[in-house]
Chain A
Amino acid sequence: MDILKEIAESLERGEDDRVAGLVRQALEERCAPLDILNRGLIAGMDVVGEQFRKREIFLPDVLIAARGMNAGLDLLKPLLAQEGVPSSGRIVLGSVRGDLHDIGKNLVAIMLKGAGFDVLDLGTDVPAQRFVDAAQEHGATVIGLSALLTTTMPVMKEVVDLVRARGLTGRVKVIVGGAPVSEVWAREIGADAHGYDAANAVERVRALVAAGA
């Protein structure tokens, strides 16, 4: 079987322990790192994401696959960097100031990485200015904000306002998410998108990037 197909299918089957070995084998067989990424790892994770959206598999299955994806990605990253291969897009992500919850944000980060995005995770309790500074410094086109408390949601508006104040509107887009956050809230504060769960957040980020964020 084509080694790239085998990588993709290993991810789909949740054989996370095999993925890094298969990536190594593909490199030894002189497959291009970008092909391994796109036709192996991302192709496999796309199928996993689709199965998750259709509720054929569940969150733990996705995370088991993500473990394999990350192990493979660790091997490819330095090679991709050497070849100057751009990622699908660079995203700055974090839980807003005052919020220490990180599981939801971590899941989004994992799934974005699985979709080929370069994710800069700022962690938790992140002030508005730091999000925007990091986006500018690292050339990110999307800022992802997570909040699990109604008391911390106003920080999301601070970020949106700061993006506007620095003249970055259109170049840097903001997506918001978290249990109390809604589409209505996203519109109210002028955010560009709302992700209602980790899989949806990936779809929305893809759309933002495709739209020229």
Chain B
Amino acid sequence: MRQRFAWTAAESLPLRAEVLRLQGVPVEADLSPRIGALLEAALAAYLETAQPRAVFGGISREEFRSVYRGEGRNAPETPLETVLAGAEQLALFVATVGGVVTTRIRGLFGRNEPALGAMLDSVASAAADRLTVLLGARSLGTEGAAGANGTRVLAYSPGYCGWHVSGQRALFASLEPGEIGVSLNSSCLMEPLKSVSGVLVAGPAGIHSFAPAYPFCPECRDKPCRARIASLSQS
């Protein structure tokens, strides 16, 4: 069933530690008062500008396989193919924190406020990722990311883990997220920029674990899969 969700900006506010990680500030670093103040100003700017919303639709495994094939440009082997085998439920999603925040970020750079602009950019990126967690919890009908019997939901997105970014076209054709104001350009880039898309996979926690040993893994600098898999061991 297709559903549309909206949250308040406060509900989507990311963890401070996650924002600082995106800024390259290690968790163990002593936060200077200046960086602390910058972070708080960026969080306040996010609260003023964000309009988080999402569209979400359940999909059968067979239907999803067709979306996943996309334009046939995926890596020959991908973790998601293995994950799918153990999935209990699948749902396509597109979520965004809206375009106003991007306008604010650009304005800050234009006004010689690069530190605040970059910090707000990290807040918005972390918030967009947080929307996938909020969606996962809603899809399970729980307040948290874990459901009954250890079911866990993780999001997988085109452009990552061997799922070619051109897969966005099939995903958008299937979900039609225009109603939340998200569109795709000819390069498969979502507008507004601070948007996320993909498939939510619900299943036993174990299905989501995989070693980063695929041929494309060495080229992936950040390896966001590691943090997501690690999150499975947290309640």
Do A and B actually bind?
yes
Residues of A within 8 A of B (CB): 14, 58-61, 63-64, 66-67, 70-71, 97-103, 106-107, 110, 149-152, 179-180, 182, 196
In-complex Cβ contact of A60 among B38, B193, B221 (8 A): B38
The reply to whether A61 and B32 form a contact with Cβ atoms under 8 Å apart is yes
Q: CB of B66 within 8 A of chain A? A: no
CB distance from A20 to the nearest CB of B (A): 10
Residues of B within 8 A of A (CB): 23-25, 29, 32, 34-35, 38, 105-106, 109, 112-115, 117-119, 121, 159, 164-166, 185-189, 191, 193, 219, 221-222
CB distance from A179 to the nearest CB of B (A): 7
CB distance from A110 to the nearest CB of B (A): 5
CB distance from B185 to the nearest CB of A (A): 7
CB distance from A195 to the nearest CB of B (A): 13
The reply to whether A149 and B189 form a contact with Cβ atoms under 8 Å apart is yes
C-alpha gap A16/B35 in the complex (Å): 13
B118: nearest chain-A partner, CB-CB: A63
Residues of chain B within 8 A (CB-CB) of A101 are 189, 193
Residues of chain A within 8 A (CB-CB) of B191 are 100
Residues of chain A within 8 A (CB-CB) of B221 are 179, 196
The reply to whether B114 and A67 form a contact with Cβ atoms under 8 Å apart is yes
In addition to A61-B32, A106-B118, A110-B114, 7 A-B residue pairs with Cβ atoms within 8 Å of each other are A58-B29, A64-B115, A66-B114, A98-B189, A100-B185, A100-B189, A179-B222
The reply to whether A60 and B23 form a contact with Cβ atoms under 8 Å apart is yes
Residues of chain A within 8 A (CB-CB) of B219 are 180, 182
The reply to whether A60 and B25 form a contact with Cβ atoms under 8 Å apart is yes
The reply to whether B159 and A149 form a contact with Cβ atoms under 8 Å apart is yes
The reply to whether A98 and B115 form a contact with Cβ atoms under 8 Å apart is no
CB distance from A131 to the nearest CB of B (A): 17
The reply to whether B112 and A14 form a contact with Cβ atoms under 8 Å apart is no
- The 28 sampled A-B contact pairs (Cβ below 8 Å) are A58-B23, A58-B25, A60-B23, A60-B115, A67-B112, A67-B113, A70-B112, A70-B114, A98-B187, A99-B189, A101-B193, A102-B109, A103-B118, A103-B121, A106-B117, A107-B114, A110-B114, A149-B165, A149-B187, A149-B188, A149-B189, A150-B159, A150-B165, A151-B187, A151-B188, A151-B189, A152-B189, A196-B221
Residues of chain A within 8 A (CB-CB) of B105 are 103
The reply to whether A71 and B112 form a contact with Cβ atoms under 8 Å apart is yes
C-alpha gap A149/B159 in the complex (Å): 8
